[in-house]
Structure 1
Amino acid sequence: MKRNETAPAHTIVDTMLDAVGPRLRELRNRRGLKLSDVADATGLSTSTLSRLESGLRRPTLDVLIPLARIYRVALDELVGAPPTGDPRIHPKPIRRNGWIYLPLTRDGAPVQAFKVVLPAKRVGRDVKLASHGGYEWFYVLNGSVDLTLGGEVTTLTEGEAAEFDTRQPHSITNATDAPADILSLFSPQGEQIHIRDS
Structure 2
Amino acid sequence: MARIGNKIRDLRRRRQLTIRELSLRSGVSHSTISLIEREKVSPSLNTLQAILDALGSTLVGFLHGVQLGSHSPFYRADELPEIGNVRGISYKLIGMSHPNRTLQFLKETYQVGADTGGQLSHEGQEAGYVVSGKIEVRAGSKTEVLGPGDAYYFDSREEHRFRNVGDEPAEIVSAITPPTY
| Pairwise TM-score range, normalised by the shorter structure | 0.5 to 0.7
Question: Secondary structure of 2:62's match?
Answer: helix
Distance in 1 between residues matched to 2:112 and 2:149, nearest whole Å: 19
Distance in 1 between residues matched to 2:70 and 2:44, nearest whole Å: 22
Map of 2:69 onto structure 1: 81
Map of 1:52 onto structure 2: 62
The count of residues paired between Structure 1 and Structure 2 equals 138
Normalising by structure 1, report the TM-score: 0.57
Q: Name which of 148, 167, 170 aligns with 1:158.
A: 148
Q: Tell me if structure 2 keeps the 8 A contact 1:132–1:166.
A: yes
**Inter-CA distance 138–36: structure 2 relative to 1 (3 Å threshold):** same
Map of 2:102 onto structure 1: 110
Does residue 30 of the first structure (1) align with residue 17 of the second (2)? no
Long gaps (5+) in structure 2: 8-42
Q: Which has the higher contact order (CA 8 A, sep 6+)?
A: 2
Alignment deviations for residues 141-181 of structure 1 (CA, whole Å, 9 cap, x no partner)? 00111111123211111001110000000011112132101
**Inter-CA distance 86–132: structure 2 relative to 1 (3 Å threshold):** closer
Long gaps (5+) in structure 1: 1-12, 21-26, 40-44, 60-78, 193-198
Q: Tell me if structure 2 keeps the 8 A contact 1:135–1:186.
A: yes
**Inter-CA distance 185–176: structure 2 relative to 1 (3 Å threshold):** same
Alignment deviations for residues 44-78 of structure 1 (CA, whole Å, 9 cap, x no partner)? x436x65234x3xx45xxxxxxxxxxxxxxxxxxx
**Inter-CA distance 161–29: structure 2 relative to 1 (3 Å threshold):** same
Q: What aligned pairs does 1:56-71 form with structure 2 within 5 A after superposition?
A: 58-59=65-66
Read off the aligned partner of 1:119 and give its amino acid letter: Q
Q: Tell me if structure 2 keeps the 8 A contact 1:28–1:34.
A: no
Map of 1:42 onto structure 2: none
Question: Secondary structure of 1:138's match?
Answer: strand
Read off the aligned partner of 1:92 and give its amino acid letter: P
**Inter-CA distance 136–86: structure 2 relative to 1 (3 Å threshold):** closer
Measured after TM superposition, the shift of residue 127 of structure 1 is 4.3
Distance in 2 between residues matched to 1:29 and 1:149, nearest whole Å: 28
Map of 1:183 onto structure 2: 173
Q: Tell me if structure 1 keeps the 8 A contact 2:126–2:175.
A: yes
Q: Tell me if structure 1 keeps the 8 A contact 2:116–2:161.
A: no
Read off the aligned partner of 1:36 and give its amino acid letter: D
Distance in 1 between residues matched to 2:161 and 2:73, nearest whole Å: 36
The structure that is helix-richer by fraction is 1
Measured after TM superposition, the shift of residue 100 of structure 1 is 0.9
Normalising by structure 2, report the TM-score: 0.62
Distance in 1 between residues matched to 2:52 and 2:95, nearest whole Å: 26
Distance in 2 between residues matched to 1:86 and 1:136, nearest whole Å: 22
**Inter-CA distance 34–115: structure 2 relative to 1 (3 Å threshold):** closer
